[in-house]
Every structure is written in structure tokens, then in C-alpha cells.
Chain A
Amino acid sequence: MAAASADWSSDVFREMKARGIATVCTVPDGGLTRLLKMVEADGGMRLVTLSTEPEGIGVATGTWLGGGRALVAMQSSGVGNCINALGLPTALRAPCLMLVTMRGQWGEFNPWQVPMGQAVRPALEAVGVKCFLVDKAGEVGETFAAAADLAFHGRLGAAVLVSQRIIGAKGFGQQ
């Protein structure tokens, strides 16, 4: 594994490339901006923009059925939308790799983000998805690599939860 850089998005991108994860399904989030730009700029990768996050669970499952590997990337609020959908890869014994940028978790300004943000881990664990919470930027890449290997080799659901402590809380111009 290469050394972590200051930019966790580059680390995740590198680990994706190393594992042949060539499709990223997303409803975007601010914290995902750099990663999504790298994916979009890469001729060998495909960005699938969704209308709602569970579509990504379906696309990722279909990608695996067809012999490929995909990542589903979303904000924590999108996790709640995915709960029933996560039964699909579980029933098929298909891998499901998720990258979740957290809101409502560390210094959140917007109270509407808090209920789902706080429920992400118990909700995912309730449907059998293994959670990897990471709160240091330098550890995101290796955590992503570990989750990806668990997902694709173990044919399991695995989610990397990138702490709001890394992303930074959005202040809406207020202090």
C-alpha cells in the first residue's frame, strides 16, 4: 500500500484503480467533489449520476453480476434511502461497497442533518453492512482499501464512513 497523501480523495482514487473499481454511482456531496472530479476526468472510469441513492445499490449489484466492480458514494442522508435496497446485494451474496461522507455528526450547523447522520451506523449495521468509521484524513485510503477487499473478496456490504471531522462542517456563512 502506498503512503497516505494529504488528500484523502487521491488515496481513495488510487485504491480504486488498484482494485479495478471502475464505476462510481453517486448522488454527490460536497466532501466527494474532488474524488468525483477525478473519476469524471479518467477515461477508464464511469461516473453514474443518480436521482436517488438506492439506484446506486442496484447499478453496483448489476455491475458485479456483469463482471465489474462499482462504488456507491453518497452523503450520510442518502444512507436512509438505501436500507431496503441493501437487501438486494445481501440476498444475492453480492459485494456492495459504499463511501459515505458524514453530516450531522461533528460540529453540524444544520439540525435537519442530525437525525439521519446519527443513525447511519446503526441503520447500516441493522441490515448487515460492515461499517468502517474513519476520522483522520491520512487513514481514509487504507480504510477504503480494507473495506473494498472485505466487500469484493467476502461478497459483503461494507461502508466507509468519512467523518465530518475530516470534511469540515458547513457553516452557511454563520458562526
Chain B
Amino acid sequence: MSAAISATPNKIARRPFVVDLLARRNGALLVCGLGSPTWDAFAAGDSPEYLYSWGGMGLAVPTALGVALAQPARRVVCITGDGEMLMGIGSLGVVADQAPANLGILVLDNESFGETGRQRGLTSGRADLAAVARGFGIARTLTVTGQGAVAELAELLFETPGPVLAVAKIALTEDPWALPEKDGAAIAQRFRAALGVS
């Protein structure tokens, strides 16, 4: 399906949506993009299997790919935002080329640079990230626009052989701050310990 300019505001409320989604992660490791996806994951319930991010925009998918290739027996899901995904968009080509069966990617797409003042983002216009992913060779994609799509989304992200990519069109919301540990060494050490590689 080709991209269309949104006629109606996005409906999905990100915080309860991510709570519902992560309740179904079934042991998957989570690699978060910087900013709101990190706050969402932390707000949904902290876990040592979550790798939080406070920077390195554009590197969420490459980092998740590295984890997925190093841990082929574990499901790895990257959860990031539309601006972060666009900054590292070529990494979808790398993911398609490496074709890790254990990697899922979710873009929480609010069509805005939410962290910096809600400036308009490129996906508010004609850019369709699921179509871009298919163009790079990620065959299985899904775009969801309603809160009720969590079961279908969870099945794709956590169960379907990867690589897979989903876009969730989320609302611009005002959510309470939920800030996890920001010492990267502590975050990395905890994540590696959870994997038994420390």
C-alpha cells in the first residue's frame, strides 16, 4: 500500500500500548531507541533484559542487530521512534542483508520530533517506514493504527521468523516522566549479566 498523508490524528496511546505489548514479550531482549521508547519501556516495568538508551541517535537498530547476531538463540526486539529510525534508515538494508531470524523492529511513529518540541517529522507526510523496510528487503511488515492491534503486533515481533518490522502510528501525548538509569556502564553491565556474558 502506498503512503498517504494522514487525514486523522493518530489514536494509539503509547504508554498503555507498550505495557500491553511488553506483557507478551515472552523472554525477548529489548533494545530501546533513545528518548520516549526508553521511557516507555521503563514505565512498563523495568527489566535487566532491557537495554536503555540516552543517545547515539540512529544506532538502535544496528545495536539490536549486533545483539541478535551474537545471541541467535534469543529473540531480540528493537523499539524505537520514527526520527531515530530515519537517522539510521540504511541499517534496515543491513538487517535485510544479514537476515537474522530472531530480530524484530517496532517503530513508535508519532510523526514528530517529540523530545525536542514536537517539530513535524518526515513520516507526517509521504514517508512510509514499512514500505521503506520492504524496499530494503524486509519482507514481513505491519502497520497498526489502533490500540486493539497488540496481539497481532506481538505475534509478529516476538514469534514470527525475522527480520520483521512494524510501525505503530501513535498519538502525541503528554506522559509522566519515567527515567531509568542513565549510567551507560551500569546499563550495559546489567544487560550482559542477564545474558550470562559478563
Contact = CB atoms under 8 A, between A and B. Distances in A.
B51 to A, nearest CB: 7
Given A67-B195, A87-B55, A87-B56, A58 B62 contact: yes
B191 A56 contact: no
Contacts, number: 122
Interface in A90-149: 90-94
A85 B192 contact: no
A87 B97 CA distance: 26
Interface in B171-187: 184-185, 187
B91 A58 contact: yes
A65 B65 contact: no
Contacts of B67: 62-63, 65-66
Interface residues of B, number: 37
B62 A91 contact: no
A77 interface: no
Contacts of B197: 65-67
B188 A65 contact: yes
Interface in B89-107: 90-91, 93-94, 97-98
A78 to B, nearest CB: 13
Contact of B56 (A56, A88, A93): A88
Nearest to A94: B188
B88 interface: yes
Nearest to A86: B56
Given A66-B66, A88-B55, A55 B192 contact: no
Contact of B59 (A46, A51, A67, A88): A88
Contacts of A88: 55-56, 59, 63
Contacts of A94: 188
13 contacts: A51-B93, A54-B58, A55-B59, A57-B62, A58-B62, A58-B66, A62-B66, A63-B67, A63-B70, A67-B196, A85-B58, A88-B59, A92-B185
Interface of A: 23, 46, 48-52, 54-68, 70, 84-85, 87-88, 90-94
Interface of B: 31, 51, 54-71, 88, 90-91, 93-94, 97-98, 184-185, 187-189, 191-192, 195-197
Question: What 9 pairs across the A-B complex have the smallest Cβ distances?
Answer: A62-B66, A66-B70, A58-B62, A51-B90, A67-B197, A91-B184, A58-B59, A88-B56, A93-B185
